Amino acid sequence: MAKITFIGAGSLVFTRRLCNDILLAPALADATISLMDVDPTRLRQAQEIVENIARQRGGKARVEASTDRRQAVTGADYVVTTFQQGGLDAYKIDLDVPQKYGVEQCVGDTLGPGGVFRSLRTIPVLLDLVADMAEVAPNALLLNYVNPMAANCWAVDAATGWPHIGLCHSVQGTSEMLARWIDVPYDEVNYLCAGINHQAFFLEFNRGKESVYPEIWEAIQRPEVKAEEPVRIELMEHFGYFVTESSGHASEYSPYFRKSAKMVNEELVPRFTDERNSWFDLGRTGGYYRHCIERLDKFQEEFDEIRSADPGTERSHEYGSWIIEAVETNNPIRVNGNVPNNGLITNLPDGCCVEVPCLVDANGIQPTFVGAMPPQLAALNRTNINVQELIVEAALTGDTDAVHHAVMLDPLTAAVCTLPQIRSMVSEMLEAQARWLPQFDLDHVHA
């Protein structure tokens, strides 16, 4: 009987979805689900929801909850991380301070000043968690869902070498979207996708043995398709391949789309005319933050209904439950996971975190060799990897200069700010977020 621990169980989306997925897998029906969150109210809500799921799945699973992380992790076989260190309070700072300096972030959880600081808050918590796991769950596999994925996983590997995989749903979601655009049944599609998290590229997209990339090129000429993904389509038109993460996210990872508030509001936002993009407010600055606030309010209003609802009998495309099932049963699967680049992508730096196809069975996570990316794609990836490398350096050494350098090298920030402006912005953010940044001696920070 597997024990699966969720750290950050108060997450509105992942806990409910992943626990339902787990308990829909026959081999995991009698699992112990251990929920941990620092917020007792959110933890209680998560426990009620998961207990209801367990009842609806036959009542074989055991559900436990604790605000004590070490207790929750003890004896775990799998640890799933879904927490947000600093919560929405820190997230608001991630957006508001940079906006004062003209940096217009839509999501701000992966790159940009927001992504840098989110990772600096997160990495110490992840490393403390792994230290607990080493003592009380020495054989546990870490499944990380916490963004910024690449920097967080890179830090875990660099500092601990602990067995882990970083998981996202952008590859699955994008491949499903591309199949829909070209009207091909999804179960007939196969692909090769590789790069870094939120900026991986579909190097191949096939129906059987035949490439259907020509059909994708035709599809992106249709107005309704352009309205759905204007940024990703523009990137494909210029770089030749389709990228994994949504246009709201993708607009932040390069210097081309968000150079000013005027550009965002008058040029970018009007291109988002498909309501599928409402979750990031059609690309507006702070769009995803507002979505989070609205979603939290709606969750609280509808909690009585949610806690007793049946979440459905179809497993989602989130990889977590499928990985756990594959390890437990030795029935192999393939996923796209975030893992250390030990020669997997030959023209990206060794040791960075890459997103590549991985085989999973009772032997664990086995990343596959990709080789060289097309040079223009590797170059785009490296602009992001440069920032990630400095985030990891800062988080592991407490070097505030590395924080400044990370933001100075961020493509979006560099498209907007001068170096003195960036130094001032970073110093302001360090001061505003000091309570979540224990690794730094902030008494000696100077602008």
In a domain, 223, yes or no: no
Alpha-carbon distance of 284 to 151, in angstroms, equals 25
- Total structural domains within the chain: 2
Instruction: Identify the domain boundary among 133, 148, 166.
Output: 166
Alpha-carbon distance of 2 to 9, in angstroms, equals 18
Span 192-203, pLDDT tens digits: 999 999 999 999
Span 249-308, pLDDT tens digits: 999 999 999 999 999 999 999 988 777 777 777 788 999 999 999 999 999 999 999 988
Instruction: Identify the domain boundary among 119, 137, 166.
Output: 166
Alpha-carbon distance of 421 to 101, in angstroms, equals 7
Q: Could you tell me how far CA 254 lies from the centroid of its own chain? A: 18
Q: Known catalytic residues?
A: 169
Alpha helix segments (H runs only) across 78-140: 87-100, 112-136
Q: How far is CA 343 from CA 197, 348, 368, 390, in A?
A: 17, 8, 10, 21
Q: Which of 184, 139, 183 is nearest to 162 (CA)?
A: 139
In a domain, 367, yes or no: no
Quote the pLDDT of residue 334. 98
Residues in the chain: 447
pLDDT in tens, the chain (447 residues): 899 999 999 987 789 999 999 999 999 999 999 999 999 999 999 999 999 999 999 889 999 999 999 999 999 999 999 999 999 999 999 999 999 999 999 999 999 999 999 999 999 999 999 999 999 999 999 999 999 999 999 999 999 999 999 999 999 999 999 999 999 999 999 999 999 999 999 999 999 999 999 999 999 999 999 999 999 999 999 999 999 999 999 999 999 999 999 999 999 999 887 777 777 777 889 999 999 999 999 999 999 999 889 889 999 999 999 999 999 999 999 999 999 999 999 999 999 999 999 999 999 999 999 999 999 999 999 999 999 999 999 999 999 999 999 999 999 999 999 999 999 999 999 999 999 999 998 876 555
Task: Tell me the β-bridge partners of 166.
Answer: 144, 338
Alpha-carbon distance of 166 to 161, in angstroms, equals 14
Q: Which of 434, 352, 438, 445 is nearest to 401 (CA)?
A: 445
In a domain, 40, yes or no: yes
In a domain, 289, yes or no: no
445 φ/ψ sector (left φ>0, alpha ψ -120 to 50, else beta): beta
The domain that contains 122 carries what CATH number?
A: 3.40.50.720
In a domain, 371, yes or no: no
Q: How far is CA 145 from CA 68, 78, 83, 149, 338, in A?
A: 20, 13, 8, 7, 10
Quote the pLDDT of residue 266. 93
Quote the pLDDT of residue 445. 57
Alpha-carbon distance of 420 to 178, in angstroms, equals 43
Give the three-class secondary structure for 87.
helix
In a domain, 250, yes or no: no
In a domain, 78, yes or no: yes
How many Å from the N-terminal Cα to the C-terminal Cα in the chain? 54
- Between β-strands 353-361 and 32-36, what pairing exists: parallel, antiparallel or unpaired? unpaired
Q: How far is CA 275 from CA 87, 177, 224, in A?
A: 27, 15, 11
Q: Which of 245, 292, 290, 251 is nearest to 271 (CA)?
A: 251
Alpha-carbon distance of 177 to 172, in angstroms, equals 9
Task: Tell me the β-bridge partners of 354.
Answer: 339
Residues 6 or more apart in contact with residue 301 via CB below 8 angstroms = none
In a domain, 337, yes or no: no
Burial level of 126, CB count in 10 A (0-12/13-18/19+)? buried
Q: Per the structure block, which two tokens stand in for 147?
A: 């963004």
The amino acid at residue 304 is: D
Q: Which of 365, 33, 368, 353 is nearest to 197 (CA)?
A: 353
Domain range enclosing 415? 379-444
